[in-house]
Amino acid sequence: MKRVIKVIDWLSSIGGGIAGVTVYILCMLIFLSIFTRYVFNRPMGFTEELTGYLMVGIIFFGLAYTLRHGGHIRVSAIIDRLNPRMRATLGLIMTVVALGWAVPFLLGCLYVWRRHFAEKMLSYGMLEVPMWIPSLIMVIGAAFLLLQIVAEILKSTLLRRHQ
C-alpha cells in the first residue's frame, strides 16, 4: 500500500511540476504579447486563446499537487478546535466525500473529451485547436486528483492503524 501511495504522490508531483512550468510559459507569453503590441505595434491575436488553454493546464495539473500539500481551502477555524482523533476522523470523512465528487467529475471530463474527439471539434479562435487536447488535459488532471484522493484515504487508514 505504501508503494501505491508513493507512485500516486510522484504523479501528483509531476502534475505540479507541469503546472509550474505552464505558469512560466504563460508569463512569458503574456510578456511577449505586451512587448510585440507596444514595441512593434503588432499584437499577437492568438494570445487570449492560448492563455485560456494554459490556465486549464495550470489548474488541472495543479489539483492533485495542491491536495497532496494541503493547499485546498479548508475551514480551519472549526477543524483546529477539534482534538487530533476527531480531526483525523473528520478529515477521512471529508476525503471520502471528495472521492464521491471526484468520480463523477472525472467521468464528466471523459465524456467531454470523447465528444470533442469523436466530433473533431475545433476551437473558434485563430488557432483552431482540436478541442480534445484541452479536454484531455482536464481528464489527466481529474484522474490525478482522483488518485491523490485515494492516496489520502490510504494515508489516513495507515495512520489510524498505527495509532
Q: pLDDT tens digits, the chain, 163 residues: what are they?
A: 889 999 999 999 999 999 999 999 999 999 999 999 999 999 888 999 999 999 999 999 999 999 998 877 777 777 888 888 888 888 889 999 999 999 999 999 999 999 999 999 999 988 999 999 999 999 999 999 999 999 999 998 887 676 6
Distance (Å, whole) CA 25 – CA 42: 20
- Domain chopping of the chain, boundaries: 2-161
Distances from the Cα of 127 to the Cα of 36, 40, 67, 80, 84, angstroms: 18, 21, 33, 49, 52
Q: What predicted TM-score, i.e. pTM, was given to this entire model?
A: 0.89
**Could you tell me the CA-to-CA distances from 87 to 22, 79, 84 in Å, in that order?**
35, 6, 5
